Structure 1
Amino acid sequence: MTTAKRKRMPRAERERQMIEVAEQVFSARGYAAASMDEIAELVGVSKPMLYEYFDSKEGLLVACIRQSRTELRDVTAQATVGAATAEEALRRGMLAFFVFIRERRQAWSLLRHEMALIGTPAAEEIEQIRRQQTDLIAAMVSAYLADDDHLRAEATAQIVVGSNERLAIWCEQHEEVTPEMATEYAMDVLWRGLDPRQG
């Protein structure tokens, strides 16, 4: 009876289920210690089915990271829609980021343990997340601040993304720091450098 239900589950839904469980296991155990056997058992499928969907354990990890990348891009981009000023857009975007990492701790855990993945496709996926975020911020800086210096806009975006990643790691050690507090801490430092009136 259960087998029949599994076969009827649409492929996309089954894939989402596999990714969700894998994210939990990778986050809890780390990539190296995570077992495809355990993931398959928790999902309720055979290990060969996992390989059929993702080719390898690393392929499954890449799928987890890719999904998180898409979700993070969507929430931060959506957060800035309708912002009237550069300051509001930056604050909204950063708040969306800090809320995401608070609510999606398992996804964030995968992203911050990138050192173990250097030289792998998974590392490239993580770097792609940064590119998406920096592209979004660089475009915002150029549009809102009417800055024609593209190198300056790109450098600014790199600074914002890098500093927020470090702040997010620090926030993990301080549970009392809410996404709103983290956003204000970041704005206090970053906006001074961005606001042309401060010059």
Structure 2
Amino acid sequence: MKVERTVTSGTTDAPRKRLSRAERERQILAVAEEVFATRGYQAASMDDIADRVGLSKPMLYEYFGSKDGLLLACLERAKRELLDSTAAAAGDADNAEQLLHDCLLAFFRFSDEHKQAWALLRNESAVLSVPINSELEAIRGQQVELTAELMRTARPDLSQQRLEAFAEAIIGACERMAMWRERRPEITSDQATEHLMALVAPGLT
């Protein structure tokens, strides 16, 4: 059975606090997200991730099954966080324009405040893995579905086809603008929101 490593101080080994499985999984995901985001999937090493967490590589595989499984778990966590951020932002809006503004702002703030998660969502589309690419498309689809549903509530007069078309266009524009901001770091999340609002708001008002 694998015994977790200890932290050495002088000549005395002080055992680490034993974490629950859920706590350990969160720790692994945080480390793996950083490694995948900074190095990319291909260059990321399971040995490096295991070493940073303080586990053996076999134990890491016991938690997530494979390198693909670990990346999928990271993507799933990012998907939940992005959905929570966007859905929470919609709570106080009382008209279609405010709803759109608040959700766009939440997306750009997510990309600012969760840079590693955003880098993961942005960079891993090049991974030649059907499950991973399917998960990435599921994340995009999740945001499209949420956007269409929120707009339906604010603009019940719009047809389903138009709602879907608007939602697809908005999500695509958000992704491209977030990538543009990486090249233009002086552009704030508020400025990015205002730029995109100027483009898409007329279609909702």
> Per the shorter chain, which TM-score range?
over 0.9
**For 1:181 and 1:82, how far apart are their aligned partners in 2?**
21
Q: Which runs of 4+ in 1 moved over 4 A?
A: none
Cα deviation digits, residues 28-56 of structure 1 (max 9, x gap): 11100100000000011111111001000
How many aligned residue pairs are there? 194
Tell me what 1:64 maps to. Answer: 74
Tell me what 2:150 maps to. Answer: 140
Structure 1 SS opposite 2:156: coil
Give the TM-score of the pair, scaled to structure 1.
Answer: 0.93
Q: Which one has the largest radius of gyration?
A: 2
RMSD of Structure 2 on Structure 1 (CA): 1.5
Is residue 29 from structure 1 mapped to residue 39 from structure 2 by the alignment? yes
Of the structure 1 ranges 82-91 and 111-120, higher mean CA displacement relative to structure 2 is found in 111-120
Tell me what 1:19 maps to. Answer: 29
**For 2:61 and 2:124, how far apart are their aligned partners in 1?**
23
Tell me what 1:116 maps to. Answer: 126
**How far off is 1:120 after superposition?**
2.3
Letter in 2 for 1:37: D
Contact 2:41/2:124 (8 A) holds in 1: no
**How far off is 1:5 after superposition?**
3.5
**For 2:27 and 2:157, how far apart are their aligned partners in 1?**
44
Give the TM-score of the pair, scaled to structure 2.
Answer: 0.90
**How far off is 1:194 after superposition?**
2.1
Letter in 2 for 1:5: R
Contact 1:141/1:147 (8 A) holds in 2: no
Contact 1:86/1:145 (8 A) holds in 2: yes
Identical residues among aligned pairs (%): 48
**For 2:30 and 2:195, how far apart are their aligned partners in 1?**
32
Tell me what 2:16 maps to. Answer: 5
The aligned runs of 1:72-91 (5 Å cut-off) are: 72-91=82-101
**For 2:99 and 2:149, how far apart are their aligned partners in 1?**
11
Flag structure 2 segments of 5+ consecutive residues without an equivalent: 7-13
**How far off is 1:4 after superposition?**
5.2
Flag structure 1 segments of 5+ consecutive residues without an equivalent: none
**For 1:71 and 1:58, how far apart are their aligned partners in 2?**
20
Structure 2 SS opposite 1:5: coil
Is residue 179 from structure 1 mapped to residue 174 from structure 2 by the alignment? no
Cα deviation digits, residues 150-187 of structure 1 (max 9, x gap): 11111110000001100000001111011111100110
Structure 2 SS opposite 1:31: coil
